[in-house]
Amino acid sequence: MEGWRSNAHSRNPTAMTKLLLLPGDGIGPEVIAEVKRVAERLGGDVELEERRFGGASYEAEGVPLTEATLALAKACDAVLMGAVGGPKWADVPRQLRPEAGLLALRAGMEVFANLRPAVCFASLAEASTLKREVVEGLDIMIVRELTGGVYFGQPRGIETLPDGQKRGVDTQVYTTHEIERVSRVAFELARGRRGKVTSAEKSNVMETGHLWREVVTALHAREYADVSLEHMLADNAAMQLVKNPRQFDVIVTDNLFGDILSDEAAQLTGSLGMLPSAALGAPGRPGLYEPIHGSAPDIAGKGLANPLAAILSFGMALRWSLGRPDLDERLTAAVEAALGAGARTRDLGGSLGTREMGDEVLARL
Ligand code: IPM
Ligand code: MG
């Protein structure tokens, strides 16, 4: 079970690798533009393709993700997305909304393990709304289950009852297999880090939470007894994240709790504009990389967005799918150096624009 760690296809090291860019909506195109400049500078024989996605695809093709784009995504070595969604598509039927395109992409690519690292760069400890001594040196890896749970469970929908009231239904559902494969990723990651996994669920009230705890416990005993495992109720995990975040190493949790806890963890690091993510499937399959910030419609098109989450997501793609961890290291070091020299976009309390922040990173590559 080492395979997924080097998720890259076995290939001739001199061969081109193919990265599909899906800039999407809102600030997506702006931050992906900076990734393109960085990719060009780094070289690394990465061939870039680009397609419309989300609302942009809906406008042009009538659907947020075309079959051709999904097929291309599955045929590339990695996919890097910018952001999807915005108020413009609020009244579009749910299955045609930009977010539906993202869910279809995650499901179609079968990227079940979403790695969301929350690292507090030393020079940004001041930018967090929490005290420096609480967040300094923070290095958490959230492993979010990404293709199951309440995001995909059936039945779901809104029906009208005989008395005219409406009734909305979502279904949280998990199988042993789904819980095991994502937990395995968490345990493997912990082995290469500080050796601790915290599994977060609501086993006190939810059937899926009960099963989650049972399956994680059994897998741990069977294959990962060398890793330390702790179970934590998800509400408590939310509190512990702001109380004493450095107690965590790897957190493994379901799709919905992972969505919430990762936004919370992002804020610990100073800004949502800093957090990259990698979604991985079976070994050898392409990974999906996304900055975890959204489309930020309020600042879209103004050149104000922080491109670092997208740039760091590209770094994760280099590491996990494109077989170039060395380039990820160079890139991350350049980002750290830019921050260390005081480069700040507005979300970090500075005044740099998107392109200027890109320039700061490029200058250090
Ligand atoms: C995320 C986002 C998405 C999610 C939305 C845009 C569908 O919040 O990646 O965290 O809920 O998964
Ligand atoms: Mg989210």
Check whether residue 124 and residue 266 sit in a common domain: yes
- Tell me how far the alpha carbon of residue 112 is from its chain's centroid: 11
Check whether residue 242 and residue 365 sit in a common domain: no
Give the pLDDT confidence score for residue 176 in this predicted structure. 98
> Other C-beta atoms within 10 Å of 66: how many?
17
Residue with CA at minimum distance from ligand 1 atom 11: 259
Check whether residue 253 and residue 334 sit in a common domain: no
Task: Confirm if 32 and 314 have CB atoms less than 8 A apart.
Answer: no
Rounded Cα gap, residues 93 and 5, in angstroms: 38
Check whether residue 254 and residue 317 sit in a common domain: no
Rounded Cα gap, residues 220 and 184, in angstroms: 9
Rounded Cα gap, residues 354 and 296, in angstroms: 13
DSSP line for 300-344: TTTT-S--HHHHHHHHHHHHHTSS-HHHHHHHHHHHHHHHHTT--
Give the pLDDT confidence score for residue 142 in this predicted structure. 98
Task: Tell how strand 153-160 and strand 139-145 pair up.
Answer: unpaired
Give the pLDDT confidence score for residue 104 in this predicted structure. 98
Check whether residue 2 and residue 106 sit in a common domain: yes
3-state SS, residue 249: coil
Give the pLDDT confidence score for residue 14 in this predicted structure. 53
Q: Write down the pTM of the prediction.
A: 0.93
Q: Final residue of a domain: which of 232, 260, 275?
A: 275
Check whether residue 133 and residue 1 sit in a common domain: no
Check whether residue 124 and residue 269 sit in a common domain: yes
Q: Which helix (H) or strand (E) holds 212?
A: helix 207-223
Q: Return the CATH number at 74.
A: 3.40.718.10
- pLDDT tens digits for range 240-276: 999 999 999 999 999 999 999 998 998 888 788 889 9
Check whether residue 102 and residue 51 sit in a common domain: yes
Q: Which residues have a catalytic role annotated?
A: 151, 202, 235, 259, 263
- pLDDT tens digits for range 192-234: 999 999 999 999 999 999 999 999 999 999 999 999 999 999 9
Check whether residue 78 and residue 163 sit in a common domain: no
Residue with CA at minimum distance from ligand 1 atom 12: 259
Pocket of ligand 1 (CB under 6 A): 85, 99, 102, 259, 292, 294
163 alpha carbon – ligand 2 mean position (Å): 35
- In the chain, the number of structural domains is 2
Check whether residue 125 and residue 267 sit in a common domain: yes
Check whether residue 309 and residue 168 sit in a common domain: no
Give the pLDDT confidence score for residue 45 in this predicted structure. 87
Q: Final residue of a domain: which of 233, 252, 275?
A: 275
Ligand with the closest atom to the CA of 255: 1
> Other C-beta atoms within 10 Å of 39: how many?
23
**In which domain, by residue range, is 41 found?**
1-112+281-365
In a 13 Å sphere around the CA of 103, the CA atoms on its Cβ side amount to 17
Where the chain has pLDDT below 70, the residues are 1-15
Check whether residue 186 and residue 255 sit in a common domain: yes
Q: Final residue of a domain: which of 220, 253, 275?
A: 275
Task: Confirm if 306 and 271 have CB atoms less than 8 A apart.
Answer: yes
Q: Which long-range contacts (CB under 8 A, 24 or more apart) does 338-345 make?
A: 338/363, 338/364, 339/121, 339/123, 339/124, 340/121, 340/122, 340/123, 342/123, 344/127, 345/273, 345/304, 345/305, 345/306, 345/307, 345/308
258 alpha carbon – ligand 2 mean position (Å): 8
Residue with CA at minimum distance from ligand 1 atom 10: 259
Asked if omega into 155 is within 30° of 0 (cis), the reply is yes
94 alpha carbon – ligand 1 mean position (Å): 14
